[in-house]
């Protein structure tokens, strides 16, 4: 009996080590898989993008959302081009609201002839939706379904009411907080991986 329980424990340990290892590998695989599929969207190629109307560009970014949603096993919130805040410090490029469950990208970004910029802005906002999804799982009975519990715990903490620092309150604090840093890194990596494949 005792032997058996020791063996079970060891088996459980080695499984944990393996799962941990796989999880780390999986974020890169997810990102590269998403980049692979997104790079096949013709409308996103700079030469095609430049000939699209604003509505065409919106629909192109919705396709990006579907690819990201598949790769990250997380729904992409409804998406629209919008007029967003603008002042002497700059313009808001994109916005994700978890309460309204919507992703917005500034009209001005859609009207630029830079598909890479639009992709980066859109995927930054998608990443926020993903962070919320993971934080929600972390705070629920589905914690084991988080892709990375350490990151999910960090995001859950950062997204707690009162913890998120808005740009208007403190621009530096806004840039430095975990969810913003992660969204920036994610979007920059994805843009680069897509560009390499186009
Ligand atoms: Zn952000």
Nearest to 187 by CA among 61, 77, 91, 90: 61
CB 118 within 8 A of CB 110: yes
Neighbour tally for 88: CB within 10 Å: 4
- Distance CA(96)–CA(8), nearest Å, equals 45
Give the CA dihedral 163, 169, 174, 175, nearest 10 degrees: -170
Q: How far is the CA of 171 from the centre of ligand 1 (A)?
A: 12
Which residues fall inside 5 Å of ion ligand 1, going by CB? 180, 183
Domain residue ranges in the chain: 2-197
Query: Ligand 1 centre and the CA of 85: distance in Å?
Result: 14
146: phi then psi, degrees, rounded to nearest 5: -70, 140
Structure confidence at residue 99 (pLDDT):
87
pLDDT at position 118 = 96
Q: What integer pLDDT is reported at residue 25 of this predicted model?
A: 58
Whole-prediction pTM: 0.85
pLDDT confidence of residue 14: 45
Give me the residue label for tokens 């379904």: 145
Low-confidence ranges of the chain (pLDDT < 50): 1-18, 20-23
Residue 55 CA to ligand 1 centre (angstroms): 24
- In this prediction, residue 8 carries a pLDDT of 45
| pLDDT for position 87 | 81
């Amino acid at each position: 009996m005792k032997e058996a329980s020791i063996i079970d424990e060891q088996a459980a340990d080695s499984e944990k080590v393996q799962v941990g290892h796989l999880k780390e590998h999986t974020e890169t695989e997810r990102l590269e898989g998403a980049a692979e599929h997104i790079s096949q969207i013709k409308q996103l190629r700079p030469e095609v993008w430049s000939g699209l109307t604003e509505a065409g560009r919106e629909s192109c970014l919705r396709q990006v959302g579907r690819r990201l949603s598949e790769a990250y096993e997380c729904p992409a919130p409804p998406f629209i081009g919008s007029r967003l805040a603008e002042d002497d410090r700059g313009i808001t490029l994109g916005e994700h609201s978890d309460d309204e469950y919507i992703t917005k990208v500034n009209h001005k970004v859609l009207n630029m002839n830079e598909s890479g910029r639009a992709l980066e802005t859109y995927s930054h906002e998608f990443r926020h939706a993903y962070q919320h999804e993971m934080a929600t799982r972390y705070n629920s009975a589905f914690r084991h379904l988080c892709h990375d519990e350490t990151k999910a715990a960090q995001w859950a903490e950062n997204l707690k009411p009162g913890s998120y620092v808005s740009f208007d309150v403190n621009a530096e604090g806004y840039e430095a907080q975990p969810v913003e840093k992660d969204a920036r890194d994610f979007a920059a990596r994805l843009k680069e991986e897509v560009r390499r494949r186009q």
